[in-house]
Amino acid sequence: MQKQGKEKKLLFSVGLDDCDIKGVTSNRSCGGSGKDTSNNMIQLVHKPSGVRTTAQEQRSQFANKKEAFFKMAKHPKFIQWCQLEASRILGKPSIDDIVDKQMGRNNLKIEVKDENGRWKEIDIFEFERLQKDGAII
C-alpha cells in the first residue's frame, strides 16, 4: 500500500532493446516432436549489466524469450545494476565515492606496536614518516 503524498515515478525502464537475443538450436538428444532441431532455445544478454540467461523449457520461442527475460530480472547481478543505475539517476553518491569518503585520513585509525610490544595509536603523518624510514612495511 502506497502512502499518500509519496508518488512513485519511473526512473528508467529495461526492455528487449537493451538485450542481445539469440535463438539457438537445442541439442537435446531426447524429446519429442522435433525438439532436437527446433530453434526454440533463447540466449539473452542484458548489455549494460552483462547478465546472461537462457531458456528452453517451452516449445515456443516467444515463451522462452519471456522466460529468459524474467530470469534476467531476478538475477542478483541485474538487481544490483538496477540499484546502481537508480542511484546514479537520482544523483546519489556511488559506492566508490562513499568508500573513498569513509577511508579519508580523518577516519583512519592506525596502530603500531611500540618497543614494549603494546599497541599505540599514531596519526597518518607519523605513519607515512615511519613508512618512508622503512620502519613499517
pLDDT digits (tens, 9 = 90+) for 34-56: 555 567 899 999 999 999 999 99
Beta strands in 25-81 (DSSP E): 41-46, 52-55
CA gap 51, 77 in Å, rounded: 7
pLDDT digits (tens, 9 = 90+) for 50-101: 999 999 999 899 999 999 999 999 999 999 999 989 988 999 988 888 888 8
Model confidence at 113: pLDDT above 80: yes
Q: What CATH number labels 16-90?
A: 3.30.160.20
Indicate where the chain has its CATH 3.30.160.20 domain(s): 16-90
Q: What's the CA angle centered on 38, arms 40 and 72, to 5 degrees?
A: 15
